[in-house]
Chain A
Amino acid sequence: MTRSGQEQLVASQNRDGGWGAQQGRASSTEVTALATLALGRLDTPASRASATRGLRWLAARQHDDGAWPVSARVDHASWATALAVLALDGLGREPVHAVRGARWLVRRTPRTLGVAVSLLHRYAPGTLAVRLNPDLKGWAWTADAASFVEPTCYALLALKRVRRHLPGAAVTGRIDEAERMVYDRMCRDGGWNYGNSTVLEAELWPYADVTALALLALAEHREREANQQSLRALRGMLHEVDSGLSLAWATLCFAAYGQDLTPWRARLVERYARTAFLGETKAVALALLALSGGAEVLRA
């Protein structure tokens, strides 16, 4: 699928140089970053030219404060900044932009749940409907919102990649706290839901794509029992889940954990042949990354 996926990505690039979630949609930072990263690692003239245009789109859209917007149509500073940082750093291009984006991430803090909830968590945790430590800060999807697993993991991956350019306790402190936040949200039997592990005493189930992403963000701690338990949980989930997005994230995750990728790559290729991932540009980009050894650009 590397060739057909690459052709699909090149063909679906917008005239402004970015990519949307599907062909014909307005360019977004998230999809442009991933498509640029995937194509920039492939060694063909078409993919290189396409990636260069994607890089230009990213460089031109960065705000003065370092953040990237949601999309060409929504100019709000966005969680996708972390993905733009990853793309620029992963391709070794525009390092000034990447570092500026990373600094914005360090400054960006989520909304907290307040002193009352914090005190209750400490002294009467059984009164809370949701099991989580409200004092641990990661990253939120948007301004004025609370920490969530997925944007936190993107920020962790980005900051770990560029921390060599960002000396100082602030970066290390944010990474350490965010890692603790992610572990805190882990489901009881391993893996991660999009949000919390327990609500109103009911255990929530983990999602394959979020679990693979969280494991990638925590890959430096691969020997920990929580990581190993979640790795097993992910394998279990993949008995049921067979989508391009989840298989691509899982393959990238297994690569970071030194697992045999042969069966996962085969499933990705087979799935693409069957569904073309329903035309989701992001899934195609992640699959290309997974098939071309792209886990290395997500590693700390």
Chain B
Amino acid sequence: MSLGRRAFLGGALAAGAASAGHGCTDAPRWERSAVRQPSRSRVAILPAAAYDGGLVEVVLRGLRLFELPLAGKRIVLKPNFVEHDPKGVVNTHPALVAAAIEAFRRAGARQVVVAEGPGHYRDTEHLLTATGLHAVLREHRTRYVDLNNDDVRALRVGSHYTGLGHLYLPETLLEADLLVSMPKLKTHHWAGVTLSLKNMFGCIPGAVYGWPKNVLHWAGIHQSIVDINSTLPVPRFAIVDGIVGMEGNGPIQGDARRCGALVFGDDPVAVDATAARLMTIDPRQIRYLAQAGRFLGNVAEERIDQAGEPIDRLRQDFRVLPMFRALKSFA
């Protein structure tokens, strides 16, 4: 039997994942207050060849393109730190986190906090120290918040794909003036791709939902991604670490793939759609992106103004698992 068949069954098994009855259907399933789709979106792709030297300037350039009101603001950076694999490229590179801390400070931010709620690891001390993030935080005198164990508040869900009436979300995020999702450019063995929207799974507190936030897997990964993102009530920005991404069996056991790009934007749906195109993956085929593109942001290429480098100059043909071949159909 093919891996594709296995994947279907795997969705029901891995980490208790299963597609819930609340599918992604055509009827609108969102509150009016959750609609955030602009008429047009802007995304920037900036080249960045390596993690050493000059990254702060690249990030600053990306921020300036969006003229964000950062002076005096409280910024929460949410990188993607999943596991420590010394040979792998699982996590957002700590050097990019360092550059973002510095860039937001130079841009006038009053406070920059780094926050993450790893989906698997409960040993935060090991994850932070082994990956090098702790050294970055210390060097830049930056506070880290473990979102798995933060104080929480229950919020009504902005859309109704999972059937969950409310979500507990960390206070640290709810108090932010700007939440910056900083995912790694990766393929994902259940969701297709994991980018700035999927990265918000790490905002869900493990102390309430378990590791790996298993209830949400039962409610459906795609559905949960949409509901989490429709519920977060704070302004958002995204910086995708595509300097070196991951292809194949992501988000943990895939292979490194150099892309040499950072993707910026204030519409996380448009950022993810563009980042998917950068991987030569059709974002319209990603179920959660297709749904998010109906009310949270723009997926359609003709509604995204792209700044920086032309996508064709940096596009890489990321390998996907056989069950995701359809995502490459437009290529």
A141–B206 Cα distance when bound, in Å, is: 9
Q: Is the CB of A141 within 8 A of B5?
A: no
Say if the beta carbon of A28 comes within 8 Å of chain B.
yes
Q: Is the CB of B122 within 8 A of A209?
A: yes
Say if the beta carbon of B71 comes within 8 Å of chain A.
no
Q: Is the CB of B7 within 8 A of A73?
A: no
List chain B residues, Cβ under 8 A from A134.
13
A184–B57 Cα distance when bound, in Å, is: 51
List chain A residues, Cβ under 8 A from B37.
none
Say if the beta carbon of B191 comes within 8 Å of chain A.
no
List chain A residues, Cβ under 8 A from B3.
200-201
Q: Is the CB of B123 within 8 A of A208?
A: yes
**Which of B99-107, B126-134, B300-308 lies on the face that meets chain A?**
B126-134
Q: Is the CB of A140 within 8 A of B210?
A: yes
Quick one: given A128-B6, A142-B215, are A151 and B210 in contact (CB under 8 Å)?
Answer: yes
List chain A residues, Cβ under 8 A from B111.
none
Q: Is the CB of A128 within 8 A of B207?
A: no
For B, the interface residue count at a CB cutoff of 8 angstroms equals: 48
Q: Is the CB of B15 within 8 A of A196?
A: yes
A128–B88 Cα distance when bound, in Å, is: 26
A141–B218 Cα distance when bound, in Å, is: 13
Q: Is the CB of B189 within 8 A of A199?
A: yes
Please provide the chain B residues from 1 to 25 with a CB less than 8 Å away from any CB of chain A in the complex. Answer: 1, 3, 5-7, 9-16, 18
Q: Is the CB of A129 within 8 A of B122?
A: no
Q: Is the CB of B122 within 8 A of A194?
A: yes
B142-159 CB contact bits vs A (8 Å, 1 = yes)?
001010011111000000
Quick one: given A73-B151, A243-B125, A283-B125, are A144 and B10 in contact (CB under 8 Å)?
Answer: no
Say if the beta carbon of A246 comes within 8 Å of chain B.
yes
Q: Is the CB of A127 within 8 A of B1?
A: yes
A243–B27 Cα distance when bound, in Å, is: 49
Quick one: given A25-B150, A148-B210, are A113 and B12 in contact (CB under 8 Å)?
Answer: yes
Say if the beta carbon of B51 comes within 8 Å of chain A.
no
Q: Is the CB of A202 within 8 A of B253?
A: yes
Interface residue tally on A, bucketed by range: 35 or more
Q: Is the CB of B13 within 8 A of A130?
A: yes
B1, B125, B153, B210 — most chain A CB neighbours (10 Å): B125
Shortest distance from the beta carbon of B329 to any chain A beta carbon, whole Å: 22
Say if the beta carbon of A43 comes within 8 Å of chain B.
no
Partner pick for B125 among A120, A195, A202, A277, CB 8 A cutoff: A277
Quick one: given A71-B207, A200-B6, A208-B123, are A243 and B249 in contact (CB under 8 Å)?
Answer: no
List chain B residues, Cβ under 8 A from A245.
122-126
List chain B residues, Cβ under 8 A from A30.
207
Please provide the chain A residues from 1 to 38 with a CB less than 8 Å away from any CB of chain B in the complex. Answer: 20-22, 25-26, 28, 30
Quick one: given A113-B13, A129-B9, A200-B249, are A146 and B151 in contact (CB under 8 Å)?
Answer: no
Please provide the chain A residues from 133 to 161 with a CB less than 8 Å away from any CB of chain B in the complex. Answer: 134, 140-142, 144-146, 148, 150-151
Quick one: given A25-B150, A246-B126, are A111 and B6 in contact (CB under 8 Å)?
Answer: no
List chain B residues, Cβ under 8 A from A150.
122, 211
List chain B residues, Cβ under 8 A from A71.
152, 207-208
Q: Is the CB of A195 within 8 A of B14?
A: yes
Q: Is the CB of B210 within 8 A of A128?
A: no
> Which residue on B lies nearest to A30, using beta carbons?
B207
Please provide the chain B residues from 184 to 206 with a CB less than 8 Å away from any CB of chain A in the complex. Answer: 189
Please provide the chain A residues from 256 to 300 with a CB less than 8 Å away from any CB of chain B in the complex. Answer: 275, 277-278, 280, 283
Q: Is the CB of B149 within 8 A of A240?
A: no
Say if the beta carbon of A244 comes within 8 Å of chain B.
yes
A146–B249 Cα distance when bound, in Å, is: 23
Quick one: given A195-B14, A280-B125, are A141 and B1 in contact (CB under 8 Å)?
Answer: no
Say if the beta carbon of A220 comes within 8 Å of chain B.
no
Say if the beta carbon of A79 comes within 8 Å of chain B.
yes
Say if the beta carbon of B35 comes within 8 Å of chain A.
no
Say if the beta carbon of A168 comes within 8 Å of chain B.
no
List chain A residues, Cβ under 8 A from B124.
245, 278, 280
Say if the beta carbon of A242 comes within 8 Å of chain B.
yes
Q: Which 10 A-B pairs have the closest CB atoms?
A: A129-B10, A141-B210, A146-B16, A21-B149, A243-B126, A243-B125, A130-B13, A145-B214, A129-B6, A130-B14
Can you list 29 contacts pairing A with B, beta carbon distance less than 8 Å?
A21-B207, A22-B146, A71-B152, A71-B208, A73-B152, A74-B152, A74-B168, A113-B16, A129-B10, A130-B13, A130-B14, A140-B16, A141-B209, A142-B208, A194-B121, A194-B212, A195-B120, A196-B13, A200-B10, A207-B123, A208-B123, A208-B126, A243-B129, A245-B124, A245-B125, A246-B126, A275-B129, A278-B124, A280-B125
7 further contact pairs, Cβ within 8 A, besides A117-B12, A194-B120: A70-B208, A73-B151, A113-B12, A114-B12, A126-B1, A145-B215, A280-B125
